[in-house]
Chains A and B, each alone.
Chain A
Amino acid sequence: MLFGRAKKNPIKLPAQDVVEWKYTTCGYCSTGCSIEVGLDKEGRAVTGRGVGGADVNQGKLCIKGIFEHELFHSAGRGDKPLMRDRIFDPYQATDWDTAMDRTAAEIKRIQQQYGPDAFAVISTGQILTEEFYTLGKLVRGCIGTNNYDGNTTLCMASAVSGYKRSFGSDGPPGCYDDFSHTDCLIAFGSNLPEQHPIIYWRMREAREKRKFPLIVVDPRVTMLAQFADMHLAITPGTDVVLLNALAHVILAEGLEDRDYIKAHTSGFDEFSKLVAEYDPVTASKICGIDEDTIRNVARLYARSNAAMSIWTMGINQSTHGSDGVVGINSLNLITGNIGKPGGTSLSITGQCNAMGTREWSSCSGLPGYRVLEKEQDRNDIARFWGIDPEFFPKKRGMFQTDIFPAIETGQIKGLWIIGTNPMTSMPNTARIRKTLERLEFMVVQDAYRDVETTEYAHVFFPAGLWAEKKGVMTNTERRVNLISNVVSPPGDSKPDLWIFNQMAKRFDNGQKIKFPEDAADVFDEMAELSRGRFLDISGMNHDKIEAARGIQWPMAADAEGGTPRVYSDGKFNHPDGRAKLIPLPFIDNNEVPCDDFPFWLNSGRVVEHFHTRTRTGKIGNQNKYSPTPYMEMNPDAAQALGIEHMSYARLVSRRGDAVVLVQLTHRVAPNAVFVPFHFHECVNRVSLGLLDPHSRQPAFKQCAVRIEAVAQQEAAAVVNRAARTF
């Protein structure tokens, strides 16, 4: 039945001549998938695949991981340090010494002229933990500014804050394996299939083997919402009300785990007094979920042997982000679902090494979950580094989202940006432009020369990316994974570790403190500092981590392996060893839709892109699935406004306007629109980003907008095209 020809022709298939596979870990999101990159004879990275025996991804990769090896050859990379006197001059290529000398001189000048905190450093969740630790050493130990934070304020700050408030420390208690043991899963504002496809795969595999109810809380009918047993289409910004009402039902019906509450928590009385006010009827009027559903979910969750909650930006990026996290933690505490298989409160982290920066960068304090506010912590680190403890401030400085307003009003004059792109990622782009142009000096350190923030920089440091460097990253489930340097950074670009080490030499304390050149030695330093602490990694080193395909902390020096879950013993990190149940009164401070601005604006991620597209926007086989921004809009609402599918519309808020291509779909409510946040000059031209009082994280996902039909479609296309330079 060989059909077509009697004689077989030889078959030619495209194939790569791989001579060597190199182990590394994905550098996009925080799932922490192990990847092998295939190199050809010339040592060029030509292909990649998931590592079959890796616990996290078991050979699978998402679209971003599949094409990640193409990043080494992607367009727009910086290969030479650049410099210019004024931001309206063209950049000139220069050498590292000149660029660094100038930068160090400017930092010192600004600090002398305006005070040590007038120079700020904003870092990222993208570089390696050893690099974070070294940057912390440089900023806290040598430069000495207290205005030092990471862009993790835009994504995980609320989770960090909520964990600290409830449990006394940061650090997600659960792991992916919990999916295999749970009897009920609630996902709050988390769309795994789009944001964390591999975690979704783990969840779905577990659910296929052992069916458990999946409840999704999301104002949008996301892919996960569609697959949920129950979808709670909540009114934006009202999660705390829902959480209070769930607790209300559990307590009112006596479904709580009284033994657990008694043994391991504090603050129950105040907590129960407050949730008593949130009966399902009252709550349903605010959060838009009917009372029966609230009762049903509360009973289901409380009666499960093991129940778990996951959340992502739907909770974190709101004015009640930290409270939302606390509320989720409390839900799990009163039902006894912390630290047990299938019972957990697990934040699904965004960036590949958001955890690393939280643990080791000293952004919010000192390395290894130490805080500036504790004398003991200051002394320990000062002694270890060999400097005077008085060099450290005694209180944490500004968050990222407070640094920008401080630039705006002139308290901060100089800025070092590392691996982040506020020109696209921060709310209210117009305000950010105005802010950045006020700086006397800005240095941008990034793998990409074309990252939009370089528009306002004076110096550009070209850095290596992902597996052009060696070190570790910590994933969502506290797993420390190894990134090995598969190839070298292109041209004159350098690993971030090298850049920090060289910069340190230009400061007085840089002569006193040791700055090891090899990442493995830096790791050993961190391991030493972690000894006996909550995030103990003293039992790990680079070789052990690679051999195990990642190890979950804590792993003490004498331990056999990592720890899948923390708080299993019911001991928490507050001084009294108990977790706190915190009452959460709800104050509606959101910019809610009104007559002038009748739509909720929601933003979020798409699977093919990461952050501000500096990487994914360069790779055709990813970028093509959404090469330009779009807005999901309800067809009924669009019809009333005369707006058509695949036409440009104008999005207007109290901050400004943007043009965006309209995709009509019933996925969004008639009074809501959704726009992916990845694109320059689009959704963040109109977003508000009110700050959470605890975490200072912006509420990207709730503000009010108006939508107008655009008569001049061609002009709109020109505007849109102009913002897509890569």
Chain B
Amino acid sequence: MFEVRKDEPDYAFIPDVPTPEKNRYGKPIELGSENRSLVGESLNINGDDSVGKSPNRYKQHGFHFTADNCIACHACEAACSEKNQLPAHISFRSVGYVEGGSYPAYSRMNISMACNHCDDPVCLKGCPTRAYTKFAEYGAVLQDPETCFGCGYCTWVCPYNAPQLDPVEGQVSKCNMCVDRLEVGLKPACAAACLGGALDFGLIETAPENREQIKNTIPGFPTPDITNPNIRFQQTRSLPREMSRPDSAPLRYQRDEQGQSDYKPKAALKAEERQWSLRKLRSREDPLVLFTLISQAVVGAFFLLFLGPLLGLGALSEGSNPATVTITLLAMLALQGFALVISTMHLGKPHRFYRAFNNLKYSPVSREVASLSLFFGLFVAYIVLGFINIPFVHEGFTEGLRYVCGAGALLTGLLFIYAMHKIYRIEARPYWNHWQVLSSFFGSTLTLGAVLVGLIFAISLTLQGEPFSGLMALLAWPMALGLVIEGVGLYAHGRDLDRKGGEGAAAHLEQRTTFGHTYNSRNGALVLSTVLIILLAVSGVDGPLGLLMWLALAGLVIVTSLVGRALFYVLVVPTTMPGAFFWKNQRFQEHARESGLAEMPQVGVLPKTDYHHEQIARAKREIKGDLLKIRQQGVKVSLQRLAENVKERLQDALSRA
């Protein structure tokens, strides 16, 4: 039990006050009734089996923040980091600010924000490993770093920047509501530390002493519609109509001319000139650029190989070009294998990859990995069955089975592309949350699939001294069609972003300014390659010269795709909380890395963005440790434990079903 001191001041205790039955989102504040069987159990914090005595243990609690009062003294952040022993580059709670007006009629509003322990925790739903739990106790959403494998998806879906991905540790951790303090009736460390009379904590939908407002929006805070967060605000002091951010996020907040509406995020022009910013195209998500494009190319190529012969692409049939088809299949296998490896290695803890299936019920990541596994399995089976004959069964059966596998791979492949797109349909990332992701992914599937197949066949046919222009003329259809689909999607995307405003429009503005030249060139290249594909197809060029021309064109298409996909990752402007001038300011972090300031650990910025080698080394260490443990306790015992574990999981799944 957390120690309550004899002289613990009154302000540190959570007041026991009446609450309404339901919160503003229509959900009951009492959380115990739906899980009677679990009520009264210990939370088992650090092996302590005692049970908290709070009369409100099963009611939703939350933070109350009086934005008028916050002085940005960092006491809340410090108390949190001290209690949770966080290194300088991580913090569960951060204070940022927005400011407006002109001297001396200047106003700055500070915002202290951590996890809002939402009614609809998108982190929990998004997490493929089920590292998150929303407890009936206090309504706390807790995350277990030991379960997490460091994919960082929760950091994408959370609108408030609550989950913190530590690139050094390769895992996420976050605000734990100080449940150990709650169990003894104390407010979380941050709320007890507040010096400005701003941050408080208590039963949700109740106002702390001397506070009169309980609302769920303030300027800079993302719309509560996404997650139904359990934070409430008081903000009665009038602020200038427009508030700006000190960090590099291209956002400002504005209310309508009459000053009546809530503050809405608007794009803020930070770099007016059009730039290339090619170096900024690289990011932590580089492996995902390759993974998505390769996967789409492979699914597209398989589609063409499997269905092509039926659709008039006879040249692609195993009958007419058996060796080339085999080479193509093996090339696809190698590519997809490579994509799998880099996407796994992209995890903070790659050796925990198997946990990706833990949350099929909710997580788009789990579903993507599951559909990818099905596709890949069936695809491999399709290849293998092409090589071997199953003994003792009729040859036709093998072939039939292979055909079934192929059809299955085709379907699961399409499902895989769809599931992949669902990952990006995140409300907290308006730039991504558009059907353009789907059109882009399927566009790439068509274009890159046709390019992959076309290249291998064109080379092979040229080497055999045979013409390929006929085949290419047909493959030009999916190629061009894919590009057109991509283009239409992009057009609609830009139009809709501007129309909707907010973070999406800000990203789109960034796209046209900071990345302006790159963006325009990519768009130009899309149009140009579509035209060139049609021209080459119609011209019927052939032979080595023709091959060279097609190769050059393929190069253009691939580079365009890479640039486009890189833009897709780096441009997204999430609905985050405002940062400060140094802390949580991406531009300062970049500067600290470039200037060498980040090499001093106390600057709080990691010197590198990528800790791949360290993570691999840790993975090796942990695997070695696991093996040693297995050896020590004996294989039999280990297997028994594994079986118990699986049984537990199944029971868990059944009980939920």
Contact = CB atoms under 8 A, between A and B. Distances in A.
Of residues B107, B195, B603, which shows the largest number of chain A Cβ atoms within 10 Å of its Cβ?
A: B195
Interface residues of B, number: 92
B648 A7 contact: yes
Given A6-B656, A204-B197, A627-B597, A197 B581 contact: no
A624 B102 contact: no
A646 interface: yes
- The A interface is mostly helix, strand or loop, or mixed, namely loop
Of residues A4, A51, A630, which shows the largest number of chain B Cβ atoms within 10 Å of its Cβ?
A: A4
Contacts of A12: 45-46, 144, 146
B133 A620 contact: no
Interface in B385-423: none
Interface of A: 1-16, 47-48, 51-53, 58-63, 66-67, 193-194, 197-198, 200-201, 204-205, 208, 221, 223, 225-227, 231, 233, 607-608, 617-628, 630, 634, 636, 645-646, 663, 665-670, 714, 717-718, 720-721, 724, 726
A625 B108 contact: no
Contact of A663 (B35, B107, B246, B597): B246
B179 A11 contact: yes
B7 interface: yes
Interface in B81-95: 81-89, 91
A625 B101 CA distance: 24
Nearest to B131: A4
Contacts of A47: 82
Contacts of A4: 124, 130, 132-134
Given A4-B124, A9-B144, A624-B582, A200 B43 contact: no
A12 B146 CA distance: 9
Given A10-B44, A11-B144, A726-B600, 6 more contacts: A2-B38, A2-B135, A7-B648, A10-B43, A621-B77, A721-B596
B9 A58 contact: yes
A6 B652 contact: yes
A552 to B, nearest CB: 20
B496 interface: no
B38 A624 contact: no
A669 B103 contact: yes
B74 interface: yes
A8 B195 contact: no
Given A8-B41, A11-B179, A627-B582, A231 B82 contact: no
B244 to A, nearest CB: 9
A619 B604 CA distance: 10
A2 B136 contact: yes
Given A13-B176, A666-B103, A607 B38 contact: no
Interface stretch (B543-551, B558-566, B586-594, B629-637): B586-594
14 contacts: A8-B38, A8-B44, A11-B176, A67-B78, A194-B73, A225-B104, A226-B108, A620-B602, A621-B86, A624-B89, A624-B603, A625-B580, A665-B106, A718-B595
A620 B73 CA distance: 16
B582 A5 contact: no
A669 B104 CA distance: 7
B604 A62 contact: no
B75 interface: yes
A663 B581 contact: yes
B255 to A, nearest CB: 18
Interface in B613-657: 648, 651-652, 655-656
A13 B45 contact: yes
Interface string B520-558: 000000000000000000000000000000000000000
Contacts of B179: 11, 13
A16 B189 CA distance: 14
A453 B600 CA distance: 21
B47 A10 contact: yes
B499 interface: no
Contact of B9 (A1, A2, A52, A66): A52
B193 A66 contact: yes
A66 B135 contact: no
A112 to B, nearest CB: 46
Given A2-B38, A665-B99, A625 B583 contact: yes
B133 A6 contact: no
Contacts of A53: 6-7
Interface of B: 5-9, 11-12, 31, 34-35, 38, 41, 43-47, 69, 71-75, 77-79, 81-89, 91, 99-104, 106-108, 121, 124, 130, 132-136, 142, 144, 146-147, 176, 179-180, 192-193, 195-197, 210, 246, 248, 580-583, 585, 587-588, 591-592, 594-597, 600-605, 648, 651-652, 655-656
Contacts of B38: 2, 8
B603 A9 contact: no
A53 B8 CA distance: 7
A201 B144 contact: no
B246 A621 contact: no
B44 A2 contact: no
Given A607-B73, A625-B74, A663-B581, A11 B43 contact: yes
A663 B88 CA distance: 22
A646 B588 contact: yes
Nearest to B603: A627
A3 B133 contact: yes
Nearest to A9: B144
A9 to B, nearest CB: 6
Contacts of A221: 103-104, 106
State the 9 A-B residue pairs at the shortest beta-carbon distance, nearest first: A624-B604, A620-B88, A53-B7, A52-B7, A3-B134, A193-B71, A10-B44, A620-B602, A717-B595
A9 B133 contact: yes
A62 B75 contact: yes
B102 A666 contact: yes
B75 A63 contact: yes
A233 B106 CA distance: 12
B210 A208 contact: yes
Contacts of B605: 624, 627
A1 B136 contact: yes
A15 B71 contact: no
Contacts of B82: 47-48, 66-67, 621
A628 B597 contact: yes
A411 B176 CA distance: 63
B591 A8 contact: no
A59 B121 contact: no
